[in-house]
Structures are given as C-alpha cells and as structure tokens.
C-alpha cells in the first residue's frame, strides 16, 4: 500500500501486458489475450463511456423534457442513436415532432428524445421489423475507430443490411450520414471541392480505414438504393465539434500532455468543421423536408474556414489549450519514418498509408452547405408539428 501511495496512481500489470503484446507482435505469435475477450471488453467500455457522456451532458444542459409525440406522429428510425452525432440528431428529430426509434447495440433509456429503443447488431442482420412503419430512416451508424475489418463489418456491411431491411419493410426514404473524407484527394493545391467532386477511387485503403469504410459505404448506397426503390439524401459532415466540450479534431492536432497540443500546419491553413448541433439540425431538416433537400450536401460551416478560426471559437467557449505548430510535411515524414522502422524491425511489410494526402488541407465550395444550414436554422420549434407530417409515407 505504501508503494502504491508513494508511486502514484498507475495501473499494476499494465506495462507488463503492453510489453507482452509488443513482444507477440514482433515475434508473430498470438496475442496474450484472445480477440473475442478484447472485443467484449471494448464493447463494455464503449457502453460505459456512452453512459458517462450521456449523464454528463444531461447534467450540464438542463432542458425541459420534450413533450411526448402524438400517437399520429410520423416515425423516424435512427441508426447509431447513441453516438456523438446520433444523440444530436435524435434531439432535432424529436423537436420536429417525430417519434424516434433508436437502433443501437446498447440503449439509453434516459434519453428523452428517443421514444423507442431497439438493441441490434446491424452488422449481423437488420430485421425489416426494425424499420416497419417509418416515414424516414436516418442512417448514422458507422465504425469510428478500429481497422479495416471493423470498418468493413460496422460501416459497409451495416449500410448494405440497412438498405435491404428498408426495402423489405417498404420504407423508401433514407437520409444517409456519410463523411467529407469520402472525396477524392485534390489534384492541385488550389482546387475547390464541392458536391460534384468524385468519390475516392475504389478500395483506396491508403487513405486510412475510416475514409475507406465511409467511401465504400457511400458507394453501396449509390449502387443499391435506387435499385431497391429507396430515395436518398446524403450528408457529408466535416469534422464535428461540440462547443460544450471542445476537443481538437485529429486532423488539426494531437494532445501531448495537459493543456499542450501538437498542431498540424499553422493557424491560417484551411480546415472544414461544423458544430454538431447545427449539423444535426440539417439532418432533421432533410428528413422533414425531404423533397426540398439537395441530393448531396457537403456539410461545412462557412464561418469556420481555418484552423485558427476554429481554435478562436473554442477559446470563446472556455477552451484553454496551447498549441505548438508543426509543418504537415514534417509530421508526415516522421510518421512514415516510424512506420518504416517498425516494418523493418518486425520484418513485416506495413500497409501503405498516404499520410500527406490524408493531412493536407483542402478547400471547399460551401455555398450549398450555407443554404442548408440557414434553412435548418430558420425552422423553429413552433413550426415543427407542421413540418413532420409532410413526410408521411
């Protein structure tokens, strides 16, 4: 006990376990713990983290509970309802008068904006009953971490399963949450990308697992939705931020320790971001005003054009972080060097990762996004009951 008190709050055995993992990876032998065990622990951690985040948000923002929707209210099925973006979308859908059915691996019965929960692993199967009676489906479920196998299972396969289940249930309207990362890399530094910019090439794994998964999932939507009789509205959000809990996006920088962060680039470099509540309002607006919504929207806040402007907004909301900036080419070179060193040390060829292409700043035409954000902002709670019935089947 004395050693524990004097040594601080470390985790006995953690260093040894990590060393065993590195040793197993270097020797090409099985890990010290079975993958199924790690998946169960990860699922438990994710559920615990979601419960903690949800409780913290409810404590921080005391709002009156929304009224229970009328029995005749249209039904919106929301996949990924417990996620960061999904919770915000649920709030906006409920505000517009929808009865929200949330689909997730775990439920949050204390969320007042989700009126019915279905606990499902959509990567295995998506039962048509989960979507029965829906006026619209908002598909926001996706893998946010992990490697290519996880993104294949929880992003691409889930999307294909959702489309099949919607068709079987006779639901014909889908608001699909994609990502701005699906666009092909710019050919020249001054290129301005917009909704007509093509998707990244097929199987572009060099852009990272997340971008690859979202790109292939949007390709599935484009290829299969029309054949199944499903109309789509595709939203491609930029980096989503929460003013109540400012966190530096990964493409802007990484936390080093305490208040200090390593920034990528410099403050004047372009960066695309959008506040999560405003983005969720657009998703709900697309659901309610489906016929008026554009087929595809790159969802970017034009008032946050650069990294420096984003950090200024963070500071207005209480963020006290400090940034040490590093040129992106230098950071990309360091990452590539480390990957090469690990590859040589383990005598295993590393998968190609286009670090510079992933991190390089992009410029966007935000005119359509500005229209969508303004339209969503104009829609007030007083008009919500009149908006939602317009999209009944």
Q: What is the pTM of this model?
A: 0.82
- Is residue 175 helix, strand or coil? strand
The pLDDT of residue 29 is 77
Alpha carbons 116 and 217: distance in angstroms, whole number = 26
DSSP state letters, 209-276: HHHHHHHHHHHHHHHHTTTTT-EEEEEEE-EEE-TTS----TTTEEEEETTEEEEES-TTSB--EEEH
6, part of any domain = no
The pLDDT of residue 317 is 95
168, part of any domain = yes
Run of H or E including 119: strand 116-119
Run of H or E including 339: helix 328-346
The pLDDT of residue 343 is 85
Domain hosting residue 106, numbered range: 69-245+267-303+363-391
DSSP state letters, 33-96: S-HHHHHHHHHHHHHHHHHHHHHHHHHHS--PPPPPPPTTPPEEEEETTTSHHHHHHHHHHHHT
> Which of 31-45, 200-214, 254-268, 363-377 is predicted with the least confidence, judged by mean pLDDT?
31-45
**Cα angle, residue 88 at apex, residues 82 and 89 outer, rounded to 5°:** 90
Q: CATH number, domain at 165?
A: 3.40.50.720
- Is residue 183 helix, strand or coil? strand
Spatial neighbors of 284 by CB under 8 A, at least 6 apart, are 89, 92, 93, 95, 96, 98, 376
Average pLDDT, the chain: 88
Q: Tell me which residue has tokens 């055995």.
A: 13
337, part of any domain = no
141, part of any domain = yes
33, part of any domain = no
Q: How confident is the model at residue 50 (pLDDT cuts 50, 70, 90)?
A: low
198, part of any domain = yes
For residue range 187-231, what is the model confidence (pLDDT) as tens digits? Answer: 998 999 999 999 999 999 999 999 999 999 999 999 999 999 999
Nearest by Cα to 221 from 287, 171, 177, 169? 177
> Could you give phi then psi for residue 148, rounded to 5 degrees?
-65, -35
For helices 328-346 and 14-27, what crossing angle results, to 10°? Answer: 70
Alpha carbons 278 and 377: distance in angstroms, whole number = 8
Determine contact, residues 26/345, Cβ cutoff 8 Å.
yes
256, part of any domain = no
Mean pLDDT of 72-86: 96
**Structural domain tally of the chain?**
1
The pLDDT of residue 94 is 95
Mean pLDDT of 113-134: 95
pLDDT of 382 strictly over 60: no
- Higher-pLDDT residue of 7 and 306 is 306
378, part of any domain = yes
């Amino acid at each position: 006990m004395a050693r524990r008190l004097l040594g601080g709050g470390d985790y006995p055995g953690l260093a040894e376990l990590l060393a065993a993992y590195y040793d197993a990876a270097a020797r090409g032998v099985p890990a010290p713990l079975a993958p199924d065990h790690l998946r169960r622990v990860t699922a438990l951690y994710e559920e615990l983290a979601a419960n903690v985040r949800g409780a913290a948000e409810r404590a921080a923002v005391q709002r009156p509970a929304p009224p229970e929707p009328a029995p005749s209210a249209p039904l919106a099925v929301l996949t990924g309802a417990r996620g960061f973006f999904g919770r915000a979308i649920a709030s906006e859908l409920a505000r517009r008068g929808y009865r929200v059915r949330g689909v997730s691996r775990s439920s949050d019965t204390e969320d007042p904006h989700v009126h019915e929960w279905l606990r499902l692993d959509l990567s295995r199967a998506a039962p048509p009953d989960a979507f029965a009676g829906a006026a619209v489906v908002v598909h926001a479920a996706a893998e946010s971490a992990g490697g290519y196998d996880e993104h294949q299972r929880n992003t691409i396969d889930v999307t294909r399963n959702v489309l099949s289940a919607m068709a079987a249930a006779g639901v014909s309207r889908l608001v699909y949450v994609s990502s701005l990362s699906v666009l092909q890399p710019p050919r020249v530094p001054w290129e301005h990308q917009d909704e007509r910019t093509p998707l990244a090439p097929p199987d572009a794994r060099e852009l990272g697992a997340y971008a690859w998964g979202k790109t292939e999932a949007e390709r599935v939507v484009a290829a299969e939705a029309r054949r199944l009789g499903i109309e789509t509205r595709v939203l491609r959000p930029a980096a989503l931020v929460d003013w109540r809990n400012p966190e530096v996006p990964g493409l802007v920088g990484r936390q080093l320790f305490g208040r200090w962060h390593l920034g990528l680039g410099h403050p004047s470099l372009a960066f695309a971001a959008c506040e999560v509540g405003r983005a969720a309002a657009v998703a709900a607006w697309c659901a309610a005003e489906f016929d008026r919504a554009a087929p595809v929207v790159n969802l970017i806040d034009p008032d946050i054009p650069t990294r420096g402007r984003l950090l200024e907004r963070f500071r207005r909301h209480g963020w006290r972080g400090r940034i040490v900036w590093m040129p992106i080419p230098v950071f990309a070179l360091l990452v590539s060097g480390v990957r090469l060193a690990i590859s040589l040390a383990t005598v295993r060829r590393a998968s190609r990762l286009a670090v510079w292409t992933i991190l390089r700043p992009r410029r966007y035409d935000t005119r359509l996004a500005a229209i969508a954000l303004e339209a969503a902002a104009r829609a007030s709670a007083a008009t919500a009951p009149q908006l939602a019935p317009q999209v009944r089947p």
